[in-house]
Amino acid sequence: MLPIPADPAPRGFIDVLRSRRSAVGGPVELDRVAELLWHAVATKGHAPAGRAGLPVEWRAAPSAGALHPISVVCIPESAKGAFLYDPREHAFRTLDVDSGHIAAANAAALVAVVGATRGCTLRLLADMDKADAAYEHAATLVLRDSGCLIATLCLCAEWLGLAACPLGFLGQGMVGKLGFPEPRFRAVGGVQVTSFR
């Protein structure tokens, strides 16, 4: 389990809204990314059954039926590996992947869309089996969940003095490389987190 971060110095929400812009800055430490994930993604409460009898959770970002079928995979700019964020335990789980290969594939995708590889990439992967168990035509709901999660991550990053840039790809080519079975898991976007611009 990662340390629970202290709340940062108070900052008004209107200031966060007025200041937030998509940007790519410099390198960022993984502990800062963990702090961001605590505020934006960590589970604040849960229940064993909700929509369709599936477990439900409460987090800062809304999700259809409180299912939260989207996982966050962190890929730091250095070839240190790839980590699955565990929102209930506030922990990083190391993925058993070829770190160098993942770093190179991720860097190529980043250069194509933002022209830089600094920071930490947060890739969003949706468990379609979970969403499909509760909804017909769940793909649109998963994309809405992804948009809510991306917005929450970007606003929290600004609040914490970090830069964040939504990425212009879904990223399906990385799903299998990260060890997630297809077609059960579908890539639904990402955010590049960096130090302040």
The model's pLDDT over 76-110, given as tens digits with 9 standing for 90+, comes to: 987 678 999 999 999 999 999 999 999 999 999 99
What local confidence, expressed as pLDDT, does residue 78 receive? 78
CA 48 to chain centre: 23
What local confidence, expressed as pLDDT, does residue 196 receive? 83
What local confidence, expressed as pLDDT, does residue 9 receive? 85
How far apart, in whole angstroms, are the C-alpha atoms of residue 13 and residue 85? 26
Q: Report CA torsion sign: 73, 78, 79, 80.
A: negative
Question: Which residues of the chain register pLDDT less than 50?
Answer: none
How far apart, in whole angstroms, are the C-alpha atoms of residue 170 and residue 193? 16
Residue type for position 18:
R
pLDDT digits (tens, 9 = 90+) for 156-170: 999 999 999 999 999
What local confidence, expressed as pLDDT, does residue 193 receive? 98
What local confidence, expressed as pLDDT, does residue 53 receive? 84
What local confidence, expressed as pLDDT, does residue 55 receive? 85
What local confidence, expressed as pLDDT, does residue 80 receive? 79
3-class secondary structure, 97: coil
Comparing C-alpha atoms, which of 110, 128, 127 is closest to residue 119? 110
How far apart, in whole angstroms, are the C-alpha atoms of residue 63 and residue 81? 28
What local confidence, expressed as pLDDT, does residue 16 receive? 95
Cβ atoms of residues 155 and 184 within 8 Å? no
What local confidence, expressed as pLDDT, does residue 48 receive? 86
Domain ranges of the chain: 13-194
The residue written with tokens 């506030």 in the block is 90
What local confidence, expressed as pLDDT, does residue 197 receive? 62
How far apart, in whole angstroms, are the C-alpha atoms of residue 75 and residue 121? 5
Beta bridge partners of 185: 127
| Superfamily of domain 13-194 in the CATH hierarchy | NADH Oxidase (3.40.109.10)
